[in-house]
Amino acid sequence: MEVDGRWDVGDPDVDAFVDANIVSFAAWDLVIYLNRNPDTCEPLAGLAAVLARQETDLMPAVRRLVRTGVLVESDEAGTIRYSLTADVAVRAVIGRFLDMAARREHRLEFVRRVLAQITGA
């Protein structure tokens, strides 16, 4: 079903999560990685290395995810590290997003939204 020019994925919390957080493929990759490794607490360089991305490409996604409460920033011995929030509600929405993204029709809609964010369309 189309709503306001976009396909409605049927879960308002997932819709809001995607619109607020998954604005790049780097953000999507980061959410997948941290969901699979929920106890990870890494500096930006470590996250960039494991995701095979440049730190400069990953930093905007990390900043947004910290600002929206998906990631938590901590200073350990002078090194800024990032981890997935312990907020159960946020983790549940992430899980539903990833479950939905496993289905082709939802994944295509999410990809369309990311591309729209990137191109400003």
Domain spans, the chain? 9-119
- pTM for this prediction: 0.85
User: How many other β-carbons are positioned within 10 Å of the β-carbon of residue 34?
Assistant: 23
Supply the pLDDT for residue 11.
84
- Please report, in tens digits, the pLDDT of each residue of the chain (121 residues total): 444 444 555 789 999 999 999 988 999 999 999 999 999 999 999 999 999 999 999 999 999 999 999 999 999 899 999 999 999 999 999 999 999 999 898 888 888 888 888 887 6
pLDDT at 1: 43
| Angle, in degrees to the nearest 10, between helices 12-21 and 88-101 | 90
pLDDT at 6 (0 to 100): 47
> Looking at the domain 9-119, which fold is it?
Arc Repressor Mutant, subunit A (1.10.10)
